Amino acid sequence: MSIEYSAQNLEDLISKIAQHGFGIIDNFLPQVTALRLANEITALKDQSLMQEAGTGRISATSNRTINKTLRGDMIYWLDESDASPPQQDYFTQMEALRLQLNQQLYLGLFALESHLALYPAGSGYKKHIDRFKTVNDGKPVRQISSILYLNQDWKDADGGHLRVYKTAENDLEYLDISPIGGRLVLFLSDTFYHEVLPATRERMSLPGWFLTR
């Protein structure tokens, strides 16, 4: 993709979403907060509290079919009412973003669901979309997808890029985004197919979805 998606601040990020449906901003959270969230993932893994991710309709309570051929991550769903201090920092920033998105783009976003994610070395998530356009069951749907990266001292050679496709039909036109700690990627949930490429080391992130009716 030749379009410039990088933003300098939240207002610029929302402008990118309005123009292209896609935007990237670095240092969305301070590195120290990203490190504390990464440490939480490590602690949850050590306590065997990270669960294998499933496919299909995702929610904190839904039954999910485990399909390791599609994705290889482990996840831990967050509860804003029981958030740790670094999680509270994340939710505070995301709430400010939600309010600005609604104010400027009239999206009607009313909630956020998110989880911590850990990809073991060599694992990934094959090409998929977060929400198909034809959803008419009356339930809340994902309108805006976000991915906050928590990786420290990440090098391009470590791999683990987010590959975002320009169109669903063409696998040759894409943008690869390095999962640098503190970086936030934001995009329309029903527009961009994407995948997670395998990395040579553990890869940590905090995906989220703003919901609308």
The per-residue pLDDT for range 41-98, each reduced to its tens digit, is 999 999 999 999 875 544 444 444 555 678 999 999 999 999 999 999 999 999 999 9
The reported pLDDT for the residue numbered 136 is 60
Phi/psi at 89 (5° precision): -60, -40
Q: What is the mean pLDDT of the chain?
A: 91
What is the per-residue pLDDT for 170? 82
* Residue 198: CA count within 13 A, CB half-sphere: 7
User: Could you tell me if residue 1 is inside a domain?
Assistant: no
Domain hosting residue 96, numbered range: 6-212
Domain annotation covers residue 201: yes
Virtual torsion, Cα 141, 109, 37, 29, nearest 10 deg? 140
Residue 150 included in any domain: yes
Listed range (113-117, 163-167, 186-190) with the worst mean pLDDT:
163-167
User: For residue 2, what pLDDT is reported?
Assistant: 56
φ/ψ of 179, rounded to 5, equals -85, 65
- Can you give the CATH number for the domain in which 135 is found? 2.60.120.620
**Mean predicted confidence (pLDDT) in 112-135:** 91
Distance CA 140, CA 62 (A): 14
Backbone φ and ψ of 23, nearest 5°? -160, 155
Confidence of residue 166 (pLDDT cuts 50, 70, 90): confident
Q: What percent of the chain has pLDDT over 70?
A: 90
Task: Specify if 199 maps to a domain.
Answer: yes
Terminal alpha carbon distance of the chain:
31
User: Degrees (nearest 5) of the Cα angle 153, 175, 74?
Assistant: 55
Paired sense of beta strands 22-25 and 6-7, if any: parallel
pLDDT of residue 190: 93
Q: Is 75:18 a contact under the CB 8 Å cutoff?
A: no
> What's the CA gap between 164 and 155, in Å, rounded?
19
Residues whose CB is less than 8 angstroms from the CB of residue 90 and which lie 6 or more positions away in sequence, other chains included: 29, 33, 37, 83, 114, 148, 206
User: What separation in angstroms does the CA of 74 have from each of 105, 115, 138, 142, 201?
Assistant: 33, 10, 29, 21, 14
Q: Is 81 helix (H, G, I), strand (E, B) or coil?
A: helix
Split into its structural domains, the chain has a count of: 1
Q: Decide if 72 is inside a domain.
A: yes
Closest CA to 66 of 51, 88, 79, 77: 51
Given a cut of 60, is residue 154 above it in pLDDT?
yes
The answer to whether residue 98 is domain-embedded is yes
Q: Are 117 and 78 in contact (CB under 8 A)?
A: no
Residue 153 DSSP one-character state: S
Q: Is 1 a residue whose pLDDT tops 60?
A: no
